[in-house]
Each structure stands twice: as C-alpha cells, then as structure tokens.
Amino acid sequence: MVFNEKLQELVDCTNQKLADDLGDYRRKPIFRVTEKYIKIDKQAYTPLCLSIGPYHYPKGEGKEYILKDVIRFGCPLDDYYSKLISHEQEFRDYYEKIQPEISPDFLQILLLDSVFLLWLTNLISENEECNGPELTIDHYRDIFLVENQIPFDVLNKVFATAHGERQEQPFALLLVEGLKWYFDSLMIPMVAPDMDTDPVHLLHLVHRSLVPVKGRNISSDVRCNQNQQDQKFLRWHRAVEYHQAGVQFKKMDLQSPHTLLDIEFKNGVLSIPRFSIDELTQDFFRNLVTFELLTPDRGVRKYVTAYIIFMSQLLSTPGDVTLLYQKEIIDYQLGRANHVCELFQNLAQGLPGINKSYYEMSFGRKLEKHYSNRWNKWMAWLKHKHFKNPWLILALLAATLLLVCTILQTFFSVFCYAKPPH
C-alpha cells in the first residue's frame, strides 16, 4: 500500500513537471551567453551605451528621433510594421525567454533597433538634418556583442521597405561595405563573403567576412588531408623559437585579397596580416569566439578560435611581441608588450583544443617540419650569431677562397709529381 502511494506520488509529480511549458531545450540562434563564459569576462558581453534586441533593453538614446526622420522623408510607419507583423512568431523564436514586461513591445524594439543599425552603417536616412545621437566608438563595439543582435531578416525587410526596388547590390554586401571603415580603423581586413544563404544576424555576417579567403573552398584538399593524417599535432611554438629555426616573419601583402585570419607558410616564410590589438579588439574577439563555440549551427567553423589559440601560443612572451612589432605585423596600444601577451592568454582561457583545425591542416605540419629540421636551425644560428657583421661575412668568404686555393694548389702539386711532364 505504501509502495503504491509512493509510486503514484512520483508519477503525478513527474507528469506535473512535464505538463509545464519547458520551451525548446536547444540553444536559440540569438542566445544568452552561458555562465561558464560570463564568469571569465562578464563585461565583454555587456553593452556600454546601446542595446540591440530585447536582452539588454532599454539602452541607447536617439532611436526614436532617427525613426521619426526616416518616416518623415520616406515610407509611413505602417509599411514597416506590415512587413514584420506576419513574421513576429518567427522572430520571437530566435531568442530565449524574453522579459514579460517588454514582450508587448517586441516588434517596436526590432523596428527601432533595425533602423538605428541601418543609420549607423549609412544605409538609411541620408538626410543631413537627421537628429541622431553623437556616435562614439562604443556604439560600434556594442553592435558586435553576441547577445546584442536582431535577426538578419528584420534588417533586410526594413531596408527593402525603405529603399523599395532601388537596391543594386545584395543587402549583405552593402552592410559589409558600410562597416568597412570601422574595421579598417581597427586594422581588421575583411572580404565580403559569398552569400549562398543569409546569416543569422550582423555578427554572423562579420564572422563570414573574416573566414580565410583560401579556406572558403576547403572541401577538397584540406579535408582529404584530414582523413589521411591522423597523427596528433604538436602545440604551436613561440615566435622567437620559430625565428631561431630559420622561419622568416612577413606581413601579408596588401595587394592580395585576404582577411585577418589568412595566415600562410611558404618557402620558410610565415605571412601574417598586420593587425592592431587593444581593449576594443579584445571584446570583439571574445564575442566572435563565443559565437563559434555556442552557435547551434554546425556549419560555423571555429576559425577565430583557432586564430586565438595560435596567436596566444605564438605571442607567449614580450620578446615574441617585440619580434612581430619589428616586422610591422603587430601594432598595439596597450602600453607594454607583456600586456599583449596577457590579452591573448586571457582570450585563450578556457578554450577547448581544436583537433585538425584549419591552421593545422593548411600550414601547421609544414611549419612543424621546418621547425624540427636541424639543418634549418644550424643555418639560422649561423645567420643570427655570425652573419650580422658584414666584415665577418667577408672574412669567411676570404677564408673559404683561401682554403679552395690551397686545396687546388695541393692537388696540382701532387698531380704534377705523380705524372711529370715528358
């Protein structure tokens, strides 16, 4: 009897839990950052002056003024809402639980934020009298936070409503062009991606624009190598250690199309795109890495994560930073070289190892083979230790010439003795 009562109690309790609205256990396309990453650096995911989407609403001034000007010089307000209202549930499904107090204003938040983003990227309201806020670098920082996003389709629909059929290029490419000046100021080169499908949101579009140019057609060569080479790759070495093994460092040629993540090793030369590192780029990288690691889309490859792991090991000491600074590869605004090391170590904290990453498969094995070659290390040692002084080089050449002459003289002397002339 007691057993049956306990059994029924457990069944009723469990059924009650199952009857509750559990929601979708899968991570949403625009997700909340998990506690694991929040503990590492909460501030990196928190907007300073601008909220985009419902998670950090309300934050940011001037959005209503921009929308008012857009309506005054363009389409009426109901044209914009008519494009969004039929997709409201679809847009809500992008997010995790939305605060009940702002849920009724969901579409209004999306419209205000999308118009603000388009104004920020010079894609809407070209009126010089537009009463927008005075923009700071923090506004641009905030629009690339992983929790501070709205669905890309919202941006697309609002842009199409404002411009009608006048757009000559795909919207995503126009958006990349509108952001180019900002990334150029950070020394982060990008190349507009091939748009087979729309990205999830703005940060996803930027991620696609950073994918290595040579990695965009990765299907054949690298994946073939991945299946053939199963040996475990050793960790990356320090820049100074590679230099001592004869590896030359060179900044990527600006004439060739490349992104920040395009690193290549060829004929003993490791080419790295020039970049600048500061507090802004730290938050930018952290949000991109979190997007890669937590996104539910398995098609998002971990290029940025691999880049951070590579750079954190390449720049392990101030001497490594100084070497790349002398080669004009790195420019830092953080004071001392050790601050750059600490920044990359912080970014790499808690990152999982990536088996057969793009860098490992594209150039890592060739670089490791060069590094392990004793002849390369010996020649580099001679060059660094003894060949810096041109007088030593001349002396070695003179000594070599003298040795050759001595050998030839000895040879001919012996030859003449063995076979005297008739």
Instruction: Report domain extents, the chain.
Output: 35-210, 225-382, 392-418
- Lowest model confidence (mean pLDDT) among 28-42, 107-121, 124-138, 175-189: 124-138
Element of type H or E holding 416: helix 390-418
CB 246 within 8 A of CB 376: yes
DSSP string covering 164-200, please?
TT---S-HHHHHHHHHHHHHHHTT----PPP-SS--S
| pLDDT higher at 332 or 249 | 249
**Position 420 pLDDT exceeds 80:** no
| pLDDT higher at 332 or 272 | 272
Structure tokens of 80?
């914009």
Q: What is the structure's pLDDT at 19?
A: 57
CA distance 68 to 72: 6
**Position 85 pLDDT exceeds 70:** yes
User: In the predicted model, what is the mean pLDDT of residues 96-106?
Assistant: 93
**Position 119 pLDDT exceeds 90:** yes
Q: Which one of 118-132, 149-163, 405-419 scores highest in mean pLDDT?
A: 149-163
**Position 421 pLDDT exceeds 70:** no
- Residues 6 or more apart whose Cβ sits within 8 Å of residue 209: 176, 190, 191, 192, 193, 259
pTM for this entry: 0.84
249-291: pLDDT as tens digits = 999 988 889 999 999 999 999 999 999 888 788 999 999 999 9
CA distance 300 to 204: 9
CB 102 within 8 A of CB 53: no
Q: What is the structure's pLDDT at 22?
A: 47
pLDDT confidence tier of residue 191, bands split at 50, 70 and 90: very high
Burial track 304-341 (b if 16+ CB lie within 10 A, e otherwise): bbbbbbbbbbbbbeeebbbbbeebebbebebeebeebb
How many Cβ atoms from other residues are within 10 Å of residue 153's Cβ? 18
| pLDDT higher at 287 or 383 | 287
CB 303 within 8 A of CB 360: no
Q: What is the structure's pLDDT at 16?
A: 65
**Position 187 pLDDT exceeds 80:** yes
**Position 225 pLDDT exceeds 50:** no
**Position 219 pLDDT exceeds 70:** no
- Residues 6 or more apart whose Cβ sits within 8 Å of residue 132: 62, 65, 66, 119
Mean pLDDT of the chain, nearest integer: 85
Strand stretches in 176-263, DSSP E: 248-251
163-175: pLDDT as tens digits = 876 677 899 999 9
User: In the predicted model, what is the mean pLDDT of residues 345-356?
Assistant: 87
CA distance 18 to 15: 5
How far does CA 10 lie from the centroid of its chain? Answer: 49
Dihedral sign computed on CA atoms, order 115, 119, 124, 128 = positive
Q: What is the structure's pLDDT at 422?
A: 56
- Residue 241 burial by Cβ neighbours in a 10 Å radius (0-12, 13-18, 19+): middle
Q: What is the structure's pLDDT at 352?
A: 86
Q: What is the structure's pLDDT at 220?
A: 42
pLDDT confidence tier of residue 400, bands split at 50, 70 and 90: confident
CA distance 370 to 266: 10
Task: Indicate the pairing of strand 248-251 with strand 269-272.
Answer: parallel
Task: Indicate the pairing of strand 264-266 with strand 269-272.
Answer: antiparallel
**Position 84 pLDDT exceeds 60:** yes
Q: What is the structure's pLDDT at 380?
A: 61
CA distance 118 to 380: 53
Dihedrals φ, ψ of 331, to 5°? Answer: -130, 125
**Position 383 pLDDT exceeds 70:** no
User: In the predicted model, what is the mean pLDDT of residues 218-243?
Assistant: 65
| pLDDT higher at 62 or 230 | 62
- Lowest model confidence (mean pLDDT) among 82-91, 126-135, 146-155, 369-378: 126-135
Q: Work out the widest C-alpha separation in the chain, in whole angstroms.
A: 129
CA distances from 309 to 133, 252, 286, 344, 365 (A): 38, 20, 12, 8, 16
Amino acid at 266: K
- The DSSP output letter for 360 is I
Query: Which alpha helices (H) appear in 74-190, and where do they start and end?
Result: 77-85, 88-92, 106-120, 137-142, 152-163, 171-185
**Position 222 pLDDT exceeds 90:** no
- Residues 6 or more apart whose Cβ sits within 8 Å of residue 87: 153, 157
Amino acid at 20: D
Q: Which of 405, 397, 285, 296 is nearest to 351 (CA)?
A: 285
CA distance 380 to 411: 33
